[in-house]
Amino acid sequence: MSADPAVRRVMIADDDELTRGGIRLILGGIPGVEVVAEARDGVEARDLAIRHRPDVVLLDIKMPHMDGLAALREICRSSSVAVLILTTFGDEHYIDEALASGAAGFVLKSSAADELEPALRAVTAGEMFLSPPVTRQAVTQLRQLRPTPPGDDVMALLEQLSSRERDVLELLAQGLSNTAISERLVISESTVKTHVSRILQKLSCENRVQAALLAHRAGLLDQGGG
């Protein structure tokens, strides 16, 4: 599976040389993708992103001189570059702030070999990409911040879903990837993608995290799902 033809120019920002090298190696195996710059700290990330105007910036959060969140805000203020946060399991407390600051998604460093290509394809198409474990972390965090019970409007939205769409939503809310959902429900991955698109449209959600949060608020997982 090749990256979208629009994916051309990518910048890597991480203070760890080995991580940059590993990411560069992965990107080198994706047709049509070119690494145009590498930054070792947040200041370099900001300056190089503004200078090179890549299609996508892969941005670490914990960097010297200027952290990734500050660099993210400045990059998003200065350009229309899509920024993917390179994250680890311990960074869940940054998720809400990064999304609010303009991040286009999150890629787990430990899963970069599997996630980078679909992530690039998603964000260059104007969509968000959230690694399934990050989705689970985000749902947990957002539930703690917004523990409001579902209202009639939420239940009305859920009633628009077909039985199969509710099945997909339940698994999505557990943080499963499209591939894992397709295996669990014994349907094709393309069918899962179609269901997810319809779910987001019907629920008026912009991304999987919002849909997962809504499912949790409505108690869909507690009902045992189909």
pTM: 0.68
Question: Strand, coil or helix: what is 59?
Answer: strand
Tell me: the pLDDT tens digits for 112-146? 998 899 899 888 877 778 887 777 776 666 555 44
Tell me: the pLDDT tens digits for 169-208? 988 887 777 888 899 999 998 899 899 989 989 988 877 7
Which are the contacts of 151, defined by CB distance < 8 A and separation ≥ 6?
none
- Tell how many helices (H) and how many strands (E) occur in the chain: 11, 6
Q: CA 96, CA 106: separation in Å to the nearest integer?
A: 11
